[in-house]
Amino acid sequence: MSNIQNTHTHNYHDRWIGRGGTQSWSSRSPDLNSLDYFFWGHLKSLVYAVPIQTEEELRNRIIVCCQTIRDTPGIFENVRQSMRRRVDACIRVGGGHFQQLL
């Protein structure tokens, strides 16, 4: 068991989740998930560009903004290219941590 695993086990006993943890959990990087990395942040920036007063207005704004994203020419090609850059960066560091470059 690594020092990190020993530390987590000591601090959190049998309640920590991770690779090699007491609760097995596969690796999952938000850097490699297009929805986590792009969609939710972009949607949020569109939805909250103007203050929202009611729950109904929020629902309607989410629907309209999702349609805007869907109908924006080239947006999914940009997502694909961004995903490719992140995958290449991950491969270069052998699956370890890497700095996002804008």
More confident residue, 15 or 24: 15
Rg (CA), the chain: 19
Residues 73, 42, single domain; the answer is yes
What's residue 88's pLDDT?
87
pLDDT digits (tens, 9 = 90+) for 44-66: 999 999 999 999 999 999 999 99
Question: Quick one: pLDDT at residue 93?
Answer: 83
Residues 54 and 19 in one domain: no
Tell me how long the chain is: 102
The whole-number pLDDT of residue 102 equals 47
**pLDDT tens per residue, range 20-49:** 555 555 555 556 666 666 778 889 999 999
Per the domain annotation, does 2 fall within a domain?
yes
38 and 62 in a common domain: yes
The whole-angstrom separation of Cα 39 and Cα 28 is: 17
Q: What is the per-residue pLDDT across 64-96, written as a single tens digit (0 to 9) for each? A: 999 999 899 998 888 888 888 888 888 888 877
Judge if 21 and 70 occupy the same domain: no
Helices and strands (H and E) in the chain: how many: 5, 2
For residue 44, the enclosing domain spans 33-92
Tell me how many domains the chain contains: 2
